């Protein structure tokens, strides 16, 4: 089996072992920058080709996420042995250790942009697979503060949400 086919199998194996719908950005991060299992453009191409072939699909509730289809599971079942055992073990171990971190990164999203007056607007969200559960927009005075809050949102989101909920429920 050629390298392209193995690359596709690695993507299928990763999606299957994530155990929840996964964004393209998360798949790319896991398979390329975090672990170097695949090159970026090969991984991106594999995701597209697997989706076109019906081995991956977007769940109806969120078109930005990917899940493995029954055909994808069957294909992986027939050919997973083509992925070297050491790599399968590495993928499984990495996902076991980091699955929740990646799930939080998908659920707790943040973005910021510069306003015309030089301030920055942050958009901080908590999402589930269907809806935005919580959204907070903040305006800060400088890029340093925007970057700091942007970077810390994943770790602080549940605390912020809990605090706001408690305050509003008093």
Of the residues 75, 106, 137, which one is the last residue of a structural domain? 106
Contact criterion met (CB below 8 Å) for 12 and 55: yes
Q: Check which CATH number belongs to the domain holding 71 and give it.
A: 1.10.10.10
> Is 0.85 surpassed by the pTM of this model?
no
pLDDT of 63 over the 80 cut: no
Q: What is the pLDDT of residue 2?
A: 53
Mean pLDDT for 79-91 is 94
Instruction: Mark whether 82 and 143 lie in a shared domain.
Output: no
Q: How far apart (Å, rounded) are the C-alpha atoms in residues 160 and 142?
A: 21
| pLDDT higher than 50, residue 1 | no
Contacts of residues 56-59 at CB distance under 8 Å and 24 or more positions apart, as own/partner, are 56/11, 56/12, 56/15, 59/21, 59/129
Calculate the dihedral angle through the C-alpha atoms of 25, 31, 34, 40, rounding to the nearest 10 degrees. -70
- Whether residue 57 contacts residue 66, with contact meaning beta carbons closer than 8 Å, is answered with yes
Cα gap 113→122, rounded to integer Å: 7
When comparing pLDDT for 130 and 70, which is higher? 70
Whether the pLDDT of residue 118 is over 90: the answer is yes
Q: What residue numbers bound the domain in which 164 lies? A: 107-169
pLDDT band, very low/low/confident/very high, at 107 (cuts 50, 70, 90): confident
Q: Point out the domain boundary residue: 55, 79, 106.
A: 106
Mean of pLDDT values over 67-81:
94
Q: Say yes or no to pLDDT of 139 above 50.
A: yes
pLDDT of residue 129: 67
Number of structural domains the chain divides into? 2
Verify that 26 and 91 share a domain, yes or no. Answer: yes
Query: What sign has the CA pseudo-torsion 105, 9, 49, 60?
Result: negative
Residue 166 has pLDDT above 60, yes or no: yes
């Amino acid at each position: 089996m050629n390298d392209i086919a193995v690359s596709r199998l690695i993507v299928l194996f990763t999606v299957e072992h994530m155990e929840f719908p996964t964004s393209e950005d998360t798949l790319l991060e896991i398979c390329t920058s975090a672990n170097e299992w695949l090159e970026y453009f090969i991984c991106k191409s594999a995701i597209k080709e697997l989706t076109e072939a019906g081995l991956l699909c977007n769940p109806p509730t969120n078109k930005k996420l990917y899940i493995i289809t029954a055909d994808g599971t069957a294909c992986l079942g027939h050919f997973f042995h083509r992925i070297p055992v050491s790599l399968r073990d590495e993928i499984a171990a990495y996902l076991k250790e980091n699955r929740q971190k990646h799930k939080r990164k998908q659920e707790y999203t943040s973005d910021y942009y510069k306003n015309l007056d030089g301030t920055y607007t942050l958009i901080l969200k908590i999402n589930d697979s269907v809806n935005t559960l919580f959204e907070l927009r903040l305006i800060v005075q400088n890029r340093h503060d925007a970057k700091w809050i942007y970077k810390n949102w994943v770790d602080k989101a549940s605390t912020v949400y809990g605090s706001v909920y408690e305050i509003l429920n008093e």
